[in-house]
Structure 1
Amino acid sequence: MKRIEFHNREREKKEIIDILNSEPSLITFVYGPINSGKTTLINYLIGQLPDVYVPFYVNLRGRFITGYEDFLNVLFEIDEGGAIDNVSDYAQSFLKDLKILSGIPIPLNLFEQIFEKKDKSKDMFRYIERFFSEMPKKRVPVLILDEMQVIGDLKIDGLLIYKLFNFFVRLTKELHLAHVFVITSDSLFIEQVYSEAILSGRSDYLLVDDFDYEQTMDFLDGYGWGEHEKESTWQGVGGKPVFLVKLINAKISGKKIEDVLSSMFIRRTGEITTRLKLVKELGDEMVIGSKHCDVHYEKLVATLKMFVDREKIGMNDVDEVSKRYLVKENILFVDPLTAMIAPQSRLDMLAIREVIRDV
């Protein structure tokens, strides 16, 4: 299989580099539709960073986190090499030959001490702050948490995520000690974050969207595609990177682009049809805060019908339960900064229109 090269993203790269070149002062939330290339962008930039930056990349994707122990095991990279009590010496020595770390390094004995404490979060935050502050003065920590919404509902003497936000504010705005990036494809999570008073004036937001038309054409040009194939692809799936990669690999393996596009459309149409059918026949519910809310088939259909002749609608144009349900099912995407709702991709938009036509 041919390796797919990283493409473009000049605007997003510049924004992130500008953030890194300034004193740490804000938490940066990197958000966008599913599979729009957020993690790919961050991983690419991590590999390009000058040695002055020390990235700590914590990936929560696919991790089953039900309690504090699970979270600590993901957040920290445990060093079983020996018992070390001096955090300053450890921070200085550990980073000499390392560039990318998949967690905050911690000696096993200190990790076990944190587990023994009643207020684990206080000791966890104290250790991280001390570790960052004791790093060589010419090195700048960059803490990156990918898919942080995984712990959104985890409670440890209150919601853990609020404790983390408070700590991130301390690392950035108060101490100017580390850059903090939070990556998420969950637009309900980013909507919740955007409305939090605790983050007002203490956070910024970077949208990583699907490729636009020109980016898509340039991307496919790099693989020798003809004009008809490029136009068919744009009309069929738009500029979602994961779909473009799928089509490139399909063409390399000898498949016809039109056949693959047709298959993708039929599959997505079937998925949305099945989801609506289940709600119609069996019902469903959403938990919003502490309230259990019924999901209504008729309201879902009414919401989706708005996209028959529009690509975007306002957040206030749809009831909250239907909005949250369709976002949770990865059919719609909410951008709280613009207060707009859109299908997760052009493929989703076309599938929605096909499904609604038959309802």
Structure 2
Amino acid sequence: MKFYNREKEVRYLKTYCQLEPNSILFVYGPKSSGKSTVIRRVIKELEDSDIVFFYYNLRKYATPTKEEFFKIFFERSDKKYVPNKLEFNLGVFKFGVEKELNFKEFSLNDVFAKINESINEVIKEGKRPVLIIDELQKLKNIYFNGEKSLLNELFNLFVSLTKMEHLSHVICLTSDTLFIEEIYQNSTLENASEYYLIDWLEKEDIKKILKEENFNEKEIDYAINYLSLPYEITELINNKKLGLTVEETIKKWINIEKDKLLYLLANANVDEDKINTILSKFKNNVKVEAKEIIKKDLINEFKFLVNNEVLFYDIINGIIKPTSIKKWHAIKKLKI
């Protein structure tokens, strides 16, 4: 997919990677807003620098078990860090461990020791390590000895690597905004984390892209009221090449989104009146203040809508909105 107008985000993250590590950076945003695409662009643009990227894209895996976590994050080798074969074209790395190491006997302390060894080897070579984990929340149900949360313990390590020792940047990507809320409330991360939002594309950027793709003014004026995510632009361009008009494509999108919502709500074990109370707040507004919705009597239904990617919760800015503009139009078509 073509890379669309994220120069501001790329510039921010490139600069961030070159500063002294001092906090964990959580990159968040609506699903499909382009977080992974942006971070991969950053890695490619810094491939000739002295930065060594340890990059793990957990979206490529089902929710991992403890044993699978070891295999994802570590590679048997005589080197402290090795190329990540699953991301060969990106030029990124994995943590190296001894070939004879038995993962069945691998403890949480061993995990930390091997990560530290890899990080320190990079520094010893006069380079700068950056650890990036995409969809970090997939690790939150892994426990050691039945009680120690891998993710919580990793946060302690990340604080040490960044804020305390300034050895390595740690950048975590997620579209799970309830997970971001958990992080935000985590006392371990207080004063040790930063947040960066990769949101919908700006209308002016969308207009510019469509103009470059030879859409006429009428098509552009219609489309910008419905587009917000990069993949939608690609789909609109492809559909035009296939002979569909802009209006046909967008009407199809809205109908599909509306039907998906109706099916979801019809099969859900939630209070319909409370769902309607929440969704009705978006009849005339694309976003509302979080305090309008996050109330004790609505919290279960709110979490249901966020978990099912109907709504996006931006805890940092105190805003709730649909996950996309087309989702917003579908919500407005419901009989609430």
TM-score by length of 2: 0.91
> SS at the partner of 2:129?
strand
1:134 counterpart SS class: helix
In structure 2, do the counterparts of structure 1 residues 98 and 128 end up closer, same or farther at CA, with 3 Å as the change threshold?
farther
Distance 1:93 1:35, change over 3 A: closer
1:191-224 Cα shifts (integer Å, max 9, x gaps): 1111111111111111000101111112222212
Amino acid at match of 1:132: I
Partner residue in 1 for 2:71: 73
Of residues 26, 29, 53, the one that matches 1:29 is 26
Kept in 1: contact 2:131–2:169 (CA 8 A): yes
TM alignment of 1:20-99, pairs within 5 A = 20-49=17-46, 50-79=48-77, 84=78, 90-91=79-80
Aligned match of 2:279: 304
Amino acid at match of 2:290: M
The reply on whether 1:217 has 2:207 as its aligned counterpart is yes
Counterpart in the other structure of 1:134: 121
> Which of 4, 18, 31 is the equivalent residue of 1:7?
4
Partner of residue 187 from structure 2, selected from 172, 178, 197: 197
Q: Does 1:154 align with 2:154?
A: no
Q: Is 1:108 matched up with 2:87?
A: no
- SS of 1:337's equivalent in the other structure is coil
Q: Does 1:248 align with 2:240?
A: no
Percent identical pairs in the alignment equals 30
Deviation string 1:110-162 (CA, Å, 9 cap, x unpaired) is 3x2x4324xx1110110110111122442111111001111223222322110
Q: Which runs of 5+ in 2 are unaligned?
A: none
Query: Would you say the 8 A contact 2:96–2:114 is kept in 1?
Result: no
TM-score (norm 1): 0.85
Q: Is 1:125 matched up with 2:73? A: no
* Deviation sequence 1:80-106 (CA, Å, 0-9, x none): xxxx4xxxxx248989x9972253233
- C-alpha distance in 2, partners of 1:98/1:220? 29
Q: Deviations over 1:305-333 (max 9, x none)?
A: 01011121222222211211100010000
Partner-residue secondary structure (3-state), 1:103: strand
Amino acid at match of 2:155: F
On the 8 A contact 1:77/1:102 being kept in 2, the answer is no
> By how many angstroms is 1:78 displaced?
3.7
Contact 1:64 1:70 in 2 (8 A): no
Superposition deviation, residue 345 in structure 1: 0.7
Letter in 2 for 1:148: L
The one-letter code matched in structure 1 to 2:66 is Y
* Structure 1 alignment gaps of length 5 or more: 85-89, 284-294
